[in-house]
């Protein structure tokens, strides 16, 4: 009975907007990680460079440069994990104190909505933030595993264990990057969820806007064009090319 009363607070447009949000979240993630052969995502293309990185590491002495890069990647995961945790704490505080919810409702001229509606909308934002936090933490762990594997790669290129271990390090590095990218997408879609505070149309517009931004950066950005360019292509880029991403 309580569930029916809660559902009655939302319209069919709210349900459609929520469905669009989750379909977009899962859909764009699947497309990025399983791209069409003729339209590879920038995240997938970077996997090739990560493998090249680990192969080049074998003959690079000392490996301070490699450890510095990996440390930078781990620091990025720590930053976003900490930011997500702070945002989660703010959201929980907002649910625990309903007064700000009333203020938001008044500012958006939707003061007639019950507090439960606003709490559920805040919970949706917290869902994506929590998902992002867990993915960033796991990414940090995976980069740690990668660091151990990198340290275990023998210095002698002739050692039969050298390149197999370098390949293992590359694969773990790619998995860590995938977890990090999933966390970033959760952050993006948490911003879409904020649009629900303005109603179902706000959620729909926010979802479509975030979907467009992610699609463009993964499949249609200038950065992607640079990365996919053949290294042996004799044609040089324009000297004053406008960088948009």
181-232 per-position pLDDT tens digit = 999 999 999 999 999 888 899 999 999 999 999 999 999 999 999 998 888 7
* H helical segments located in 8-114: 12-33, 42-58, 64-96, 99-107
User: pTM of this prediction?
Assistant: 0.88
Which letter does DSSP use for residue 134 in this model? Answer: H
Query: Could you report the average pLDDT of every consecutive run of 10 residues in the chain (245 residues)?
Result: 68 93 97 86 93 94 91 96 96 80 62 77 95 98 96 92 95 97 97 90 96 95 90 59 47
Alpha-carbon dihedral sign for residues 62, 66, 67, 68: positive
- Give the CA distances from residue 189 to residues 17, 117, 125, 151, 208, in Å, rounded to whole numbers and listed in that order: 13, 19, 8, 36, 10
* Amino acid 36: pLDDT: 81
Domains of the chain, by residue range, sit at: 12-31+39-228
163: Cβ contacts below 8 Å, ≥ 6 apart? 55, 58, 157
* Rounded distance between C-alpha atoms, residue 118 and residue 128, angstroms: 16
* Amino acid 244: pLDDT: 47
């Amino acid at each position: 009975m309580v569930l029916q009363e809660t559902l009655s607070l939302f319209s069919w447009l709210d349900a459609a907007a929520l469905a669009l949000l989750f379909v977009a979240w899962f859909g764009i993630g699947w497309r990025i990680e399983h791209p069409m052969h003729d339209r590879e995502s920038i995240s997938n293309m970077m996997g090739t460079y990560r493998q090249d990185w680990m192969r080049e590491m074998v003959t690079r002495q000392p490996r301070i440069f490699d450890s510095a890069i990996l440390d930078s990647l781990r620091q990025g995961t720590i930053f976003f994990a900490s930011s997500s945790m702070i945002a989660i704490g703010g959201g929980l505080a907002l649910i625990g104190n309903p007064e700000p919810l009333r203020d938001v409702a008044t500012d958006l001229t939707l003061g007639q909505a019950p507090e439960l509606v606003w709490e559920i909308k805040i919970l949706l934002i917290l869902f994506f933030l929590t998902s992002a936090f867990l993915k960033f933490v796991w990414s940090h762990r995976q980069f740690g595993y990668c660091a151990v594997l990198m340290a275990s790669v023998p210095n002698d290129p002739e050692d039969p264990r050298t390149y197999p271990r370098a390949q293992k390090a590359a694969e773990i590095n790619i998995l860590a990057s995938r977890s990090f990218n999933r966390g970033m997408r959760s952050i993006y879609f948490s911003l879409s969820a904020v649009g629900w505070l303005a109603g179902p149309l706000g959620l729909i517009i926010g979802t479509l806007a975030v979907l467009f931004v992610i699609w463009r950066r993964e499949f249609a950005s200038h950065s992607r064009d640079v990365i996919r360019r053949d290294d042996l292509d004799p044609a040089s880029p324009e000297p004053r090319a406008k960088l948009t991403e």
